[in-house]
Amino acid sequence: MIEQFTARAEAASAKVHAVADEAAAVHLVDSLRAEKTAAGLEVGVVRAAKGIAQTGTCIVVTDDEDVRLKTMLPEVSVILLDAADILPDLPSAAPFLRAEQTKGSPSYISFITGPSRTADIERVSAIGVHGPLEFHIMLIGGRP
């Protein structure tokens, strides 16, 4: 599933960084942030609750507006995902979604797959419309 997740996420223009553990992920995020900030780009970092192998998707609980905006406004979006949280396909996400939507407070769940994109002008694929231009996944324990 890790391989499929990686291949499908990259097919959707995400950059997947396989890292051994949390510490390695944090280290890589720090250096990425430094690099991008120096280039004048904003970086938003959040943590995914689940992944979906078949589509290369990260599922992020974004009930909190600040967390949500971190995935929307900055040019560079970084998501931390534990490889153990990868589900096989969309239907297998139903129990997670149901639990979130019946937890007793309203929820806003985001399925995010790659950077924002459009093909609205002459069907030319363009990356980075209203959301991130770059999309990085730190896949923890994701070394195949």
Options 51, 56, 74, 141; binder of another protein; rule CB under 8 A: 56
**How far lies 25's CA from each of 8, 9, 41, 62, 100, in Å?**
21, 18, 20, 21, 26
Options 38, 40, 120, 144; binder of another protein; rule CB under 8 A: 120
Other beta carbons less than 10 A from residue 117's beta carbon: 17
Q: Does 7 bind another protein (CB under 8 A)?
A: no
Options 2, 6, 8, 43; binder of another protein; rule CB under 8 A: 8
Q: Is 45 helix (H, G, I), strand (E, B) or coil?
A: strand
State the minimum distance, in angstroms, from the CB of residue 128 to another protein.
Answer: 7
Q: How many residues bind another protein (CB under 8 A)?
A: 50
Restricted to residues 59-98, the positions that interact with another protein (CB under 8 A) are 63-65, 68-69, 71-72, 89-91, 93-94, 97-98
Please report, to the nearest 10 degrees, the dihedral formed by the alpha carbons of residues 116, 60, 9, 16 taken in order.
100
